[in-house]
Amino acid sequence: MTAPTTTADAPDETAVADDGARRSVRRFGTLALAAAVVVGLLLGYAGGLLTPQLTRPGDSSAEAGFARDMTSHHAQAISMGLIAFQRGTDPEVRQMGVDIATGQQGEIGTMQTWLRSWGLDPAGSDPVMAWMPDGAKLVKNGLMPGMATPQEMAALESAQGRELDVMFLRMMIRHHLGGVHMIDGILDASDDPEVTRVAQTMKNTQQTDLANLQAALTRLGG
C-alpha cells in the first residue's frame, strides 16, 4: 500500500514568496528613507550656504543706502566733534566732542564692513536718501537731515571760546536729530537683525547725546 503524501511540513511557496517580497519592500523602503535623509541633509547644507547669498541686501536696498548715507552723515559729525575737542574751552564740550567723534568713527567701521560683506561698493549709484520713503524731500541743497552747510562748518572752524562751544552744541543737536530721523527710517524699512540691532544702538546713543548736549547748552546760556 502506498503511503499518503503529507504536505503539512512542506513550506508554503506562496508564503515564502510573500515574505521575500515584504523583506524586499522593507529593504527598498529603508534604502529610500536613507537616501531621502542624505538628500535632505545635502539640500539643507546647500541652502545654508546659499541663503546668505540670496538674502543679503542688494545695491539699491534700504540697508545699503542707509550704510552709505549714514557714513557720510557720521563723517561730518566726526569733523565737528574734533573741532570741539581740539579748540573748545568748556571741558564738558571738549569731552562730548571726542566721545562723539570716536563713537561715530567706530560705527562707520561697522557700516563699511556690512557693505564689504554684502559684496557692495562703499558708494552706490542711487541718489542720496533714495532708500527712505520721501527721502528726496528731506535733502536740502544736497545735504541730508541735520547736516551743516559748508558755510556753517567754516564758521565753526573759525569760532573761538564760548562762541565755539555754543555753536558746536547747537549744530550737533540739529545733526543728531536728523540722524535719529534717518535711523528711524531704517528701523521701519529693514528686517535684517544685525542692521536693526546696530541702528537701535545708534539711536539710543544719539538720544543720550542729545540730552547731554541740551543740558550743556542750557548751562552755557545758549
* pLDDT 10s digits, 164-178: 999 999 999 999 999
Say yes or no: 174 and 196 in one domain: yes
pLDDT of amino acid 40: 46
Report in angstroms the alpha-carbon separations of 190 from 25, 62, 106, 131: 51, 7, 21, 11
Say yes or no: 69 and 149 in one domain: yes
Contact 196, 186 (CB under 8 A): yes
Which residues, including other chains, have CB under 8 Å from residue 50's CB and lie 6 or more apart?
none
Exposed e or buried b per residue across 8-38, where buried means at least 16 C-beta atoms within 10 angstroms of its C-beta: eeeeeeeeeeeeeeeeeeeeeeeeeeeeeee
In whole angstroms, give the CA distance from residue 149 to residue 152: 5
81: which 3 cell numbers? 566733534
In residues, how long is the chain? 222
Count H helices, E strands: the chain? 7, 0
Say yes or no: 64 and 27 in one domain: no
Confidence band of 222 (pLDDT split at 50, 70, 90): confident
Question: For the chain, what is the mean pLDDT?
Answer: 85
Say yes or no: 136 and 45 in one domain: no
Domains identified in the chain, total number = 2
Q: For residues 143-161, give the mean pLDDT.
A: 98
Say yes or no: 86 and 116 in one domain: yes
Range of the domain at 115: 58-219
Highest mean pLDDT out of 23-27, 45-49, 85-89: 85-89
Contact 107, 74 (CB under 8 A): yes
- Percent of all residues in the chain with a pLDDT value above 70, rounded to a whole number: 76
Beta-bridge mates of residue 161: none
